[in-house]
């Protein structure tokens, strides 16, 4: 009976904590760290829990969705609608999720010494928590925007040619704008989370965010090179 009661209680607590990240980021990030501390004292093997990793996966998939949409506009992709279907979309999302998790792991190693260099304090565990929790707005992109993209336009929204009708074109523009808004929101949450958890000033927290972006960029470049070597 205790086990049955414990799961709903944990779920409710997690839901309140995630909501607080939206409405009061300082309290939300502090609550996430305190919860990890409690789990560590209780001897749990994964003190940060699975949530930061799940959110990192969602965030990576969301960033890949954004790249698929705007990559053509920036000249980085050239894909005909007939060459992009559901199989290619699933592969792209899985690739984005994997790269984001690798970036999270790298930041867990690089983040602490960078925070110390900026006269703050950040453990690897807390760095991974902040990375994952900051991706929370990306849930909207994956669970709301992506299904609407597929219903209204279809997989061709991720090709680099314009959709065939005005409704699809209008939705594509709205979807890109909303997706970018979620990405900007996540970046701002990440900066705030680093500031709160590492006890840094805003400018130094932004510097740490730049390091995080560099970590993700290096992972993407390395992953791209590996894929090119495999497919080459």
Residue 193 lies in a domain: yes
> What is the pLDDT tens value at each position of the chain, 232 positions in all?
344 445 456 666 767 777 888 888 898 899 889 988 988 898 888 888 889 999 999 999 999 898 888 866 565 556 666 667 788 888 889 989 998 898 899 889 888 998 888 888 889 999 999 999 999 999 999 999 999 998 988 877 787 666 667 787 888 889 989 999 999 999 999 999 999 999 988 888 888 888 877 877 777 777 666 655 654 4
pLDDT for position 79: 66
Residue 38 lies in a domain: no
> Which residues constitute the domain of residue 96?
52-231
Give the count of domains, the chain: 1
Q: Indicate the pTM of the whole model.
A: 0.82
Residue 118 lies in a domain: yes
- From the list 195, 214, 216, the residue with the least C-alpha distance to 205 is 195
Residue % of the chain over a pLDDT of 70: 82
pLDDT digits (tens, 9 = 90+) for 174-199: 998 999 999 999 999 999 999 999 99
Residue 47 lies in a domain: no
Provide DSSP, the chain.
Answer: -HHHHHHHHHHHHHHHHHHHHHH-HHHHHHHHHHHHHHHHHTT-S-TT-SHHHHHHHHHHHHHHHHHHHHTTTTTS----GGG--HHHHHHHHHHHHHHHHHHHHHHHHHHHHHHHHTT----HHHHHHHHHHTTTTHHHIIIIIHHHHHHHT-GGGGSSS--SSHHHHHHHHHHHHHHHHHHHHHHHHHHHHHHHHHT--HHHHHHHHHHHHHHHHHHHHHHHHHHHHHH-
Q: Which residues of 174-191 are buried (b: 16+ CB within 10 A; e: fewer)?
A: ebbeebeebbebbbebbb
> In whole angstroms, what is the distance from residue 37 CA to residue 73 CA?
45
Residue 35 lies in a domain: no
> In whole angstroms, what is the distance from residue 198 CA to residue 207 CA?
12
> In whole angstroms, what is the distance from residue 29 CA to residue 69 CA?
31
pLDDT for position 4: 44
- From the list 68, 64, 61, the residue with the least C-alpha distance to 160 is 68
Residue 27 lies in a domain: no
Tokens at residue 107, please?
A: 């930041």
Residue 207 lies in a domain: yes
**Class of residue 156 by CB neighbours under 10 A (exposed 0-12, middle 13-18, buried 19+):** buried
Residue 26 lies in a domain: no
């Amino acid at each position: 009976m205790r086990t049955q009661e414990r799961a709903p209680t944990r779920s409710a607590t997690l839901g309140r904590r995630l909501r607080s990240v939206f409405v009061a980021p300082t309290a939300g990030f502090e609550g996430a760290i305190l919860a990890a501390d409690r789990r560590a004292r209780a001897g749990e093997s994964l003190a940060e829990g699975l949530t930061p990793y799940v959110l990192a996966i969602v965030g990576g998939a969301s960033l890949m969705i954004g790249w698929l949409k705007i990559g053509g506009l920036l000249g980085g992709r050239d894909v005909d609608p007939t060459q992009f279907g559901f199989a290619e979309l699933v592969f792209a999302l899985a690739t984005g999720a994997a790269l984001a998790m690798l970036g999270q792991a790298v930041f867990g190693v690089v983040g602490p010494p960078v925070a110390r260099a900026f006269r703050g304090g950040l453990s690897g565990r807390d760095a991974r928590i902040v990375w994952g929790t900051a991706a929370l707005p990306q849930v909207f992109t994956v669970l709301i925007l992506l299904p609407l993209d597929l219903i209204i336009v279809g997989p061709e929204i991720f090709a680099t040619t314009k959709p065939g009708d005005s409704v699809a074109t209008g939705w594509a523009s709205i979807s890109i704008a909303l997706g970018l808004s979620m990405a900007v929101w996540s970046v701002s949450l990440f900066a705030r989370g680093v500031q709160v958890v590492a006890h840094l000033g805003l400018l130094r927290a932004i510097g740490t965010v730049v390091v995080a972006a560099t970590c993700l960029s290096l992972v993407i470049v390395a992953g791209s090179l590996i894929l090119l070597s495999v497919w080459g």
